[in-house]
Amino acid sequence: MSLAVFLTELDELLAAGQRALAEATDAAALEAARVEFLGAKSGRLRAIQRQLGAVPPADKPAAGKRFNELKQALEAALTAARERIENQRAATVDTTFDATLPGASRRLGRLHPITQTIQELQEIMGRLGFSVADGPEVEDEFHNFEALNIPAAHPARDPLENFYLSTAATVTGGPYLLRSQTSTVQIRVMEKTPPPVRVISLGRVYRPDTADATHYPMFHQIEGLLIDRRVTMADLKSVLRLFAKSYFGGDVHIRFRPSFFPFTEPSVEVDMTWHQGWIEMGGAGMVDPHVLAAVGYDPDEYSGFAFGLGVERVCARRHGVADIRDFYRNDVRFLRQF
Amino acid sequence: MIVSWNWLREYVRPNASADDVARRLMMAGLNHEETQPVGDDLAIDLEVTSNRADCLGHLGVAREVAVLYESPLELPEPQPVENGPAVAELAKVRIECPELCPRYTARVIQGVKVGPSPAWLRDRLATLGVASINNVVDVTNYVLFECGQPLHAFDLNRLTGKEIIVRQPRSGEKLEAIDHRTYDLAAGMCVIADAQRPVGIGGVMGGASTEVTAATTDVLIESAAFAPMSIRSTARLLNLHSDSSYRFERGLDPHGVDWASRRCCELILASAGGQLAKGVIDVGTRPGERQPIVLRRPQIARVLGIDIPRARVRAILEALGCRTVRDDADAITVIPPSWRADLTREIDLIEEVARVHGYETIPEDVQVPMAASARTPLDRLLVAVRHALTGCGFDEAYTLSVVEVNWSEAFSPWTSAAALHSQLPVLRRADRLRRSLVPSLLGALRTNESLGNRDVQLFEIAKVYWQHADRLPDEPRLIGLASGGDYLAMKGVVETLLATLHVNAELKVAPYAHPLFEAGRGVELLLGGERLGFLGELSAAGRKQFELREGSSVAELGVERLLAAAVLVPKTQPISQFPSIERDLNLVVGDDVRWDDVERVVRAAAGELLARLDYRDTYRNVERLGAGRKSVLLSIELRDSQGTLTGAQADEVRDRIVGACRQQLAAELRE
């Protein structure tokens, strides 16, 4: 085969190949064109490569050079066609796909609102340096009353105001009852820890209230206790303000109103500012010297404050819960709103 | 305590509105509930804390107002004219139970003309919401609301023997009180009796038979002191609470007994006429002098965080009725007034000074020293548990710690000790402290089922109570789970939880038969050989007991065991650079072969190269596998930490596994 004929065939092949590749409109057509021209076994490029052997030896370098140019040109055309089809496909919309369908959802459980409230209160008090202390829910009279400066004659000890247990009076500690406040934990902490003390106790407490929208015979309290040298009511007010600012945000002010609790003296009701008015936060006071003495602290050396709030009330107010019995009904339609 | 604004102003006239006075009182300790207009008067409702019995009368509130506004206080000084015979000739009084009634005084007025009360008296009582009876009874009520001391007027001529005996009731005695109900009197109560019969329940309510009526001409005025504890228990036992018992329960001014008696007689003479007998019958012990209290000046700043000037401290204490015994630069010594039984210690005086001086003077922005606070391991664990369980789709429940007896007995796998018992039911019939959370959670499932809620999965973390003979009960914290899934679904949740907590011990199950559980589907969970808890799928009987239509499974885990086994701060392991090889094995074994056995044999045979062993499926087919046979599909992942594993090595391990299973479990490999 003469060089001229070979080169002519090459030119024709190039033209045909470029046309075929350029005309392919989808991946299948492109693949067919690729196999026809660039197929490794029986493509037309492969066929013409075999004819290279028939070219006179003197013309072979020129023929080979031209063949390589052709091969590169075809491969370039293939790449270009591929990109073109790829882009084309990216630009076409699959109209059957509905992007507005809901996703494949996964159901996560929810933490109980009381847990969520406790976790947040606990976390804030943690930042203020208060560690969590735990204590029993079934208590003896010493920890629930006597050590808290509630003597036997006090009305708070009336059997109808408490859930006393029917167990026989034991040798130590007398009858048992479900604790009516978490201050019992503070006594237990002070009994085994020398000052300074900075703890919060939280958990279930029990009082014989008739269940209604704002009362339940079981509820949760969170109580803080700080004992050290030179602790004053100004410290109490300032800690409560930091606490309220952290929980509610914004610039909050604290107001004390005199009150009466057996284990604190002075005792106060704590109010905080709320929408141009005041709302009740809880009770507080300076730990009564009797209480300090009962746990072996010297009331002339150490002083301290305690404060407590009802978790249900805080939680109900924050989330707009109208009936606190909902907290214990466990209707998942309620629980899943938190 | 309802306060009449007009009445209050008879004793103190601050230059302030009723609203301002109510606000100041609230800020000084008498919480203001509301103010209602009544005619041309205002009824101001104040909440009096149990330590302030002195404020259960207008005079006490007036004293607070006088202190707060630094206004003069005008106290009546009753001097009734006595122009009758000597009182001892007209009546006798004897106390037989001085522990219940330490002091009893009586005055007698003869020739009263019982009739309607004068308008001023009716108006005063109307503001308080107290019905007017007649001009004698109204006066006793008036004086009660004036000074807090309850009084009673007897029709002297209806007292048998014209005698008062204060004693405990005799067996079987009853009394018809002035509310015309009949009360059974019991030992420990204090009755006022005449020579024959009870005529009143001391400090609580008078009797109908001797009450003052239109026909009454001679009255005996009782003013006495009763023991607070006894009054409280009597009122409670009889379920009879009166304005009188309310005050006696809280403790009254012992010096107020005689004042109230004189005041009462003075007002009866003015409103109903008559002639007051000379003198008073005064039986029992007179109150003693109070002990002085020393207030060390530096203690004020030490407690309050602010200093209060010396003169101001003294002025406040004296305005409150304290008598200064000594006033030095470093301390003041005072004797508290008789009406303030709550003032006995230095700290009590500090509180008085603080509340009158004003808590608003205490700053709210002092620097409180910082302190470290660490989260306890328990806290960390519970946070991780809650994450895992909510991640598994469980909602957190809170149920009552105390349950009814049938729930208490329904499930108590942890302890055989009897449930603790509350004397009063906490709610409805719930009086057993629970020993397990499971019944409560099944109850919550039922609640949701009855509400038509679907896919309910609940967990709760709470304490339970296990009784001991000689100490406080154990209160372990448990994690309870309940859902509509089956046994394996629940077990998967427990396994997921353990994996999340990086538990470093192996979970095993031991059969646990319980009527609540389907036979063979109840287990005790063992972690590293120690009890972790229980798990089971409910039997038909169990579902029936809790009125559940749908299938349910429950689990209960001990937090303490979990905490011991959890790794809260995991350490990372190096990740192998070399690829692993997976092989599936399909082993045909007898139906009695447990996965536990398969796992044990496979692990032992696979040796160190085994990176993972997964159970895939179980397949039964009598025709293909034969009766009593099952095919267990499992997959293994093999990896050599030192180099790339070859296919030949992997096949060798697989062959070893198959050989061991054949030998030990009579297993055949199914290709």
Query: Hey, what domains does chain A have and what are their CATH numbers?
Result: 3-91 (no CATH), 113-335 (3.30.930.10)
pLDDT digits (tens, 9 = 90+) for B465-496: 999 888 899 999 999 999 999 999 999 999 99
Q: Of A124, A201, A204, A233, which to mutate for an interface test with B (greatest number of B Cβ within 10 Å)?
A: A233
CB contact at 8 A, B133 and B115: no
Q: Which residues of A touch B401 (CB under 8 A)?
A: 137, 178, 204, 206, 218
Query: Hey, what domains does chain B have and what are their CATH numbers?
Result: 2-69 (3.30.56.10), 82-284 (3.50.40.10), 293-336+343-359 (3.30.56.10), 377-565 (3.30.930.10), 581-669 (3.30.70.380)
Among A48-62, B49-63, B541-555, which is the least confidently predicted range? A48-62
- pLDDT at site B377: 95
Please count the other Cβ atoms lying within 10 Å of the Cβ belonging to residue B504: 13
Spatial neighbors of A208 by CB under 8 A, at least 6 apart, are A160, A161, A162, A163, A217, B424, B426
* Peptide bond preceding B476 in cis form (omega within 30 of 0): no
| ipTM confidence score | 0.89
C-beta atoms of B386 and A254 within 8 A? no
Answer whether residue B517 shows pLDDT above 70.
yes
C-beta atoms of B375 and A126 within 8 A? yes
| The two structure tokens encoding residue B307 | 């200093």
Query: CA angle, corner B234, sides to B228 and B239, nearest 5?
Result: 125
pLDDT digits (tens, 9 = 90+) for B247-271: 999 989 999 999 999 999 999 999 9
pLDDT digits (tens, 9 = 90+) for B421-470: 999 999 999 999 999 999 999 999 999 999 999 999 999 999 999 998 88
Q: What is the arithmetic mean of pLDDT over A42-61? A: 85
Answer whether residue A169 shows pLDDT above 60.
no
C-beta atoms of B475 and A137 within 8 A? yes
Answer whether residue B202 shows pLDDT above 80.
yes
CB contact at 8 A, B233 and A153: no
Q: Which residues of B touch A259 (CB under 8 A)?
A: 29, 31, 49
pLDDT digits (tens, 9 = 90+) for B411-427: 999 999 999 999 999 99
Helix (H, G, I), strand (E, B) or coil at B558: strand
Spatial neighbors of B410 by CB under 8 A, at least 6 apart, are B438, B439, B516, B545, B546
- pLDDT at site B437: 98
Q: Which residues of A touch B459 (CB under 8 A)?
A: 109
pLDDT digits (tens, 9 = 90+) for B288-306: 889 999 999 999 999 999 9
C-beta atoms of A131 and B374 within 8 A? yes
DSSP A99-156: TTSPP---PPP---HHHHHHHHHHHHHHHTTPEEE---SEEEHHHHTGGGT--TTSGG
DSSP B244-306: HHHHHHH---TTHHHHHHHHHHHHHHHHH--EEEES-EEEEPPP-PPPPEEEEHHHHHHHHSS
C-beta atoms of A178 and B422 within 8 A? yes
- pLDDT at site A215: 94
C-beta atoms of A266 and B470 within 8 A? no
pLDDT digits (tens, 9 = 90+) for B22-47: 999 999 999 999 999 999 999 999 99
Q: What is the arithmetic mean of pLDDT over B594-598? A: 95
Q: Does A207 touch chain B (CB under 8 A)?
A: no
CA distance A53 to A51: 5
pLDDT digits (tens, 9 = 90+) for B604-631: 999 999 999 999 999 999 999 889 999 9
